[in-house]
Chains A and B, each alone.
Chain A
């Protein structure tokens, strides 16, 4: 976009067309404050880098342990519990959202109560409650389906999954409800007037449009969930942070291993953020006249423009990114 704005003065019809007013050529305002601010920030940044460089850190340990089997195992566990909790939260969340909006006072107040409880208490406490369930229910008895000692059933993984997933469901319920309610009532009227049933209306008309509102906060939720999963070390679940701490304590490279965990979290959240971007773009279909280019398409376009030397090819390169 900027390339085109830049070249406007050159081939603007202004000066050449007879009788047209002359294009303005003014000296732009100098923003001295910006230069000052940039210098101040750069100096502070330099001081920070200097401090870190002088710290008593064994950088080699960070590199050595980064792809350690234990760490990789922990990272895998972090991703597994986060993805499964998110799926659990999503499914249960949609159910709760539908219950909450139903005309049946019993289902809607039960959903309200669920959301009230799980949003109103810390995840940390919920994790501990699940983990220690055996103290009050020594035997888990689901009639003919399942019967076992609670301590056997409530593994660290189960406690982590239930703690994170049930909590997530409460948040997802509110996000889904907001999304469904954001769809214009006229849409439902139109589909009803065409003879569609409520289920068809929900599946074909309302939900696809609600997704545009649901996807962005859901992506944020997932990234939050990924980070919150580090709390699962409290229920002995062997996720990335716990693994890093184990190694760190044994090798007295505590901070080094925390840095390993930090970089891994950053890497995972970055990958999922990119996925979120493309998902959002997909569901923007129909609400925008033309989808914006993806970063990759923009890079390709700019390369093309540079190769040509002029901005004339800017339109053709990436095509319409539909």
Chain B
């Protein structure tokens, strides 16, 4: 059960397949507390799938995945694995924030309601308190003046910043970013990365699937390059991106840099 003291996420031989297609073929990695952990790689390499396994949006087929020392999605007792009930899975997910490529804001709610929704529903925070906190969070991501706007009235960058505020409202100990800037117009990417940089500075543990190599190099503490469902290369971002050892990594980086 017990993972290393400072370990936030620990993956041991994680396998995942969709039908006959093996998407993850044995992922071993460790993310330390307070670390910004970047995952890069070509599309179809399994990086998004791996991220979704961490909060059990996808079930893994083999291996073990721990978040903060606790097994994700299962309970292990006397050498047997028991599936967790929906309610228990939901409880595990509370502490893990997630930001999606396509924002997935709730379109029928204002920015403020989007942020205040989960604390009220899930944590039973009093409504007035949750709204006050939501206002602070929106202020923090630079959207203090957009609290009453609906998502359709916001730009992509603004929507993604609301989505980050929404995830932060649950006070997560870990944040997952699934290509947070890939659906944005180029001139809007910066504002989202700024917010993420800010979060990293505050010591949030973050796992970031990204194509923004500049961001990975500047903010990331560690980086893995994934391809074909395995981790090909890992290390400090500067080393992996600056001096790749594997052919596959070199080839990929030559295309994106």
Q: Which of B74-82, B104-112, B186-194, B200-208 contacts A (4 or more CB under 8 A)?
A: B104-112
* B108 and A208 contacting across the interface, CB-CB below 8 Å: yes
Find residues 289-317 in chain A having any chain B CB closer than 8 Å to their own CB.
289
Q: How far is it, in angstroms, between the C-alpha of A197 and the C-alpha of B166 when the chains are bound? A: 17
B96 at the interface (CB under 8 A from A): yes
B153 at the interface (CB under 8 A from A): yes
Q: How far is it, in angstroms, between the C-alpha of A184 and the C-alpha of B100 when the chains are bound? A: 13
* B152 and A209 contacting across the interface, CB-CB below 8 Å: no
* A205 and B106 contacting across the interface, CB-CB below 8 Å: yes
Taken residue by residue from 161 to 176, chain B's Cβ proximity to chain A (1 for < 8 Å, 0 otherwise) reads as 0010011001000000
Q: How far is it, in angstroms, between the C-alpha of A208 and the C-alpha of B152 when the chains are bound? A: 16
B98 at the interface (CB under 8 A from A): yes
* B108 and A209 contacting across the interface, CB-CB below 8 Å: yes
Within the complex, which residue of A189, A195, A208, A288 is in contact with B57, where a contact is CB–CB below 8 Å? A189
Number of interface residues of B (CB under 8 A): 31
* B121 and A288 contacting across the interface, CB-CB below 8 Å: no
Main secondary structure of the interface of A (DSSP, over half): helix
Total A-B residue contacts, Cβ distance less than 8 Å: 74
B151 at the interface (CB under 8 A from A): yes
Which residues does chain A contribute within 8 Å of B100, judged by CB atoms?
A: 186, 189-190
Q: In the complex where A186-B102, A204-B121 touch, is A193 in contact with B93 (Cβ < 8 A)? A: yes
Find residues 57-96 in chain B having any chain A CB closer than 8 Å to their own CB.
57, 86-87, 90-91, 93-94, 96
Taken residue by residue from 190 to 231, chain A's Cβ proximity to chain B (1 for < 8 Å, 0 otherwise) reads as 111111111010001100110000000000000000000000
Residue of A nearest to B94 (CB): A195
* B104 and A195 contacting across the interface, CB-CB below 8 Å: no
B118 at the interface (CB under 8 A from A): yes
Which residues does chain B contribute within 8 Å of A195, judged by CB atoms?
A: 90-91, 93-94, 118, 122, 170
Which residues does chain B contribute within 8 Å of A286, judged by CB atoms?
A: 107-109, 150-152
A287 at the interface (CB under 8 A from B): yes
* A194 and B57 contacting across the interface, CB-CB below 8 Å: no
Within the complex, which residue of B93, B102, B153 is in contact with A289, where a contact is CB–CB below 8 Å? B153
Q: How far is it, in angstroms, between the C-alpha of A187 and the C-alpha of B100 when the chains are bound? A: 11
Please give the distance in Å from B120's CB to the nearest CB on chain A: 9
A147 at the interface (CB under 8 A from B): no
Which residues does chain B contribute within 8 Å of A288, judged by CB atoms?
A: 152
Please give the distance in Å from A263's CB to the nearest CB on chain B: 39
Within the complex, which residue of A189, A197, A198 is in contact with B104, where a contact is CB–CB below 8 Å? A189
